[in-house]
């Protein structure tokens, strides 16, 4: 009798293991969303574009992959993001599945009006990942970005996400920002969020046509372009090129870039490539007002020398380091002044005040935009040259002898 009871208990305990997947979803029943674009529609509605992967045309095997396009795009509208997604079921035979969405594109027009309701809907959805990267469609619509076909990467979303990572590492004028990062900036005490911008260059009419994939040079292509500055969930301005690079430098996110240096009357005679950089920001208080100090320690290599130069001379190398330091300082100060002009603290200076003096911050926080705009900021750069590449002294010396 005892053995029978034990056997029955074992069978009962094993039942959960035999129950199967109660919420299984067949692949053939799902429309896998890999990117989503949101534009401003009529009468304050949202126009939402869904980029869906076409699995049969994406296979990378030698004999795999179909002859059709790698993506399918559908568009829907609604008063809210949720309503627009539900309305899409009128056009799509499968259920929209967001777990693999890697990119959220928001139009500049919509971003200037505010995107808090969009972010809330996506952050609240348990299926939509908050690690999804965000970009702003600059001087174009989110639909145009989402529907542009690319040649090197079969999936346009892959091109954008990989490109953001590479340009952040190699140039430092854009950074990858996901929904979590954006929300952290929204709720931060003393820091505003930034998002990379993207534009469609070339003939936009042919960006979504198959013929855009049949040439070595495309007629339209996607291109990273600047950083969008946000305040209270609204886009208020842009920083481009070296000003954008200065922002990334202060945020301690520069991994590498390039710096042109004039030398003895020759413009851009030297090109310097930073290989390591570290930025530290601190705050002191003068007469009850915060003053900020930005210290950058940078190590670089000499990547180009287009003039006669003795790189064996310690004095020459010291002059190069000083010039590099001055150029970095110039770029960073230009970015800080532009952010102060727009009264948008994207550097997190307010966070430094909050951590250093909580009581003083409580008095300042409601008027921080104005205080930030007039705050004293000093920048100090310590630049070090580590090596000069394979060749030590340039051939220009030998040619001039």
For the stretch 215-233, pLDDT in tens is 777 777 888 999 999 999 9
User: Does a structural domain hold residue 69?
Assistant: yes
Structure tokens at 322: 């000083």
User: Does a structural domain hold residue 280?
Assistant: yes
The residues with which 301 forms a beta bridge, in sequence order, are 273, 387
Question: If you ran DSSP here, which 8-state letter would residue 181 be given?
Answer: H
Give the residue from 125, 123, 137 showing the smallest Cα distance to 40.
137
The tally of domains found in the chain comes to 2
Whole-angstrom distance, CA of residue 292 vs CA of residue 353: 9
Do residues 235 and 273 both lie within one domain? no
Question: The domain spanning residue 299 has which CATH number?
Answer: 3.30.300.210
- Residue-level pLDDT at 238: 96
- Cα–chain-centroid distance for residue 279? 19
Do residues 61 and 200 both lie within one domain? yes
Average pLDDT taken over every residue of the chain: 86
Residue 63 scores a pLDDT above 60 = no
Do residues 204 and 256 both lie within one domain? no
User: Does a structural domain hold residue 12?
Assistant: no
Whole-angstrom distance, CA of residue 341 vs CA of residue 191: 16
Do residues 281 and 191 both lie within one domain? no
* Rounded mean pLDDT, 250-264: 91
Q: Which of 179, 207, 239 is the last residue of a domain?
A: 239
Tokens 């004095």 label which residue?
315
Whole-angstrom distance, CA of residue 132 vs CA of residue 180: 8
* Rounded mean pLDDT, 30-36: 89
Do residues 209 and 224 both lie within one domain? yes
Residues above pLDDT 70, as percent of the chain: 85
Whole-angstrom distance, CA of residue 214 vs CA of residue 377: 52
Do residues 219 and 293 both lie within one domain? no
Q: Which of 206, 239, 272 is the last residue of a domain?
A: 239
Do residues 47 and 120 both lie within one domain? yes
User: Does a structural domain hold residue 8?
Assistant: no
- Residue-level pLDDT at 216: 72
User: Does a structural domain hold residue 213?
Assistant: yes
- Residue-level pLDDT at 62: 41
Whole-angstrom distance, CA of residue 222 vs CA of residue 156: 9
Torsion sign (Cα): 152, 157, 160, 163 = negative
* Rounded mean pLDDT, 103-116: 95
User: Does a structural domain hold residue 187?
Assistant: yes
Q: Which of 178, 210, 239 is the last residue of a domain?
A: 239
Q: What is the pTM of this model?
A: 0.86
Residue 83's SS3 state is: helix
Whole-angstrom distance, CA of residue 115 vs CA of residue 92: 26
Structure tokens at 32: 């896998």
Of 19-23, 58-62, 250-254, 388-392, give the range with the top mean pLDDT. 250-254
Do residues 36 and 162 both lie within one domain? yes
Whole-angstrom distance, CA of residue 33 vs CA of residue 389: 45
Do residues 74 and 182 both lie within one domain? yes
Give the residue from 280, 400, 259, 250 showing the smallest Cα distance to 327.
259
Q: Which residue has the higher pLDDT, 27 or 52?
A: 52
Residue 19 scores a pLDDT above 70 = no
Task: Domain of residue 260: give its range.
Answer: 242-401
Do residues 316 and 178 both lie within one domain? no
Tokens 């051939």 label which residue?
395
Distances, alpha carbon 149 to alpha carbons 14, 208, 301, in Å: 51, 5, 37
User: Does a structural domain hold residue 6?
Assistant: no
Do residues 277 and 379 both lie within one domain? yes
Do residues 128 and 256 both lie within one domain? no
Q: Which of 83-92, 98-107, 218-227, 330-339 has the lowest mean pLDDT?
A: 218-227
DSSP assignment of 344-381, as one string? ---S-HHHHHHHH-HHHHHHHGGGHHHHHHT-EEEEEE
Q: Which of 149-153, 174-178, 397-401 has the lowest mean pLDDT?
A: 397-401
Give the residue from 366, 342, 335, 338 showing the smallest Cα distance to 236.
342
* Rounded mean pLDDT, 272-297: 93
* Rounded mean pLDDT, 100-124: 93
């Amino acid at each position: 009798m005892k053995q029978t009871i034990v056997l029955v208990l074992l069978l009962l305990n094993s039942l959960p293991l035999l129950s199967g997947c109660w919420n299984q979803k067949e692949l053939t029943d799902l429309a896998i969303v890999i990117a989503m674009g949101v534009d401003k529609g009529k009468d304050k509605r949202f126009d939402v574009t869904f980029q869906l992967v076409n699995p049969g045309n994406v296979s990378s095997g030698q004999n795999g992959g179909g002859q059709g396009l790698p993506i399918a795009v559908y568009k829907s509208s609604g008063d809210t993001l949720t309503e627009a997604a539900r309305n899409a079921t009128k056009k799509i035979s499968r259920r929209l599945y967001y777990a693999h969405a890697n990119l959220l594109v928001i139009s500049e027009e919509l971003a200037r009006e505010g995107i808090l309701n969009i972010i809330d809907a996506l952050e609240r959805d348990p299926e939509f990942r908050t690690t999804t990267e965000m970009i702003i469609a600059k001087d174009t619509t989110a639909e145009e970005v989402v529907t542009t076909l690319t040649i090197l990467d079969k999936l346009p979303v892959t091109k954008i996400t990989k490109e953001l990572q590479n340009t952040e590492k190699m140039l430092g004028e854009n950074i990858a920002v996901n929904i979590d990062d954006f929300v952290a900036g929204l709720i931060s005490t003393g820091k505003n969020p930034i998002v990379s911008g993207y534009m469609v260059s070339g003939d936009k009419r042919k960006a979504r046509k198959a013929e855009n994939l049949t040439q070595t040079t495309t007629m339209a292509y996607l291109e990273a372009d600047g950083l969008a500055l946000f305040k209270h969930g609204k886009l208020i301005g842009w920083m481009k090129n070296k000003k954008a690079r200065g922002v990334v430098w202060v945020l301690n996110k520069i991994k590498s870039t390039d710096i042109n240096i004039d030398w003895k009357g020759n413009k851009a005679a030297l090109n310097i490539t930073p290989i390591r950089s570290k930025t530290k920001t601190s705050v002191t208080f003068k007469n009850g007002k915060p003053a900020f100090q930005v210290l950058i320690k940078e190590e670089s290599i000499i990547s180009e020398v287009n003039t006669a130069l003795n790189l064996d001379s310690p004095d020459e190398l010291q002059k190069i380091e000083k010039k590099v330091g001055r150029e970095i300082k110039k770029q960073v100060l230009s970015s800080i002044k532009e952010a102060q002009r727009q009264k948008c603290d994207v550097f997190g200076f307010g966070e430094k005040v909050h951590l250093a003096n909580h009581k003083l911050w409580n008095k300042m926080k409601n008027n921080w935009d104005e205080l930030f705009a007039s705050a004293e900021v000093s920048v100090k750069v310590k630049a070090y040259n580590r090596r000069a590449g394979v060749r030590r002294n340039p051939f220009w010396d030998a040619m001039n002898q």
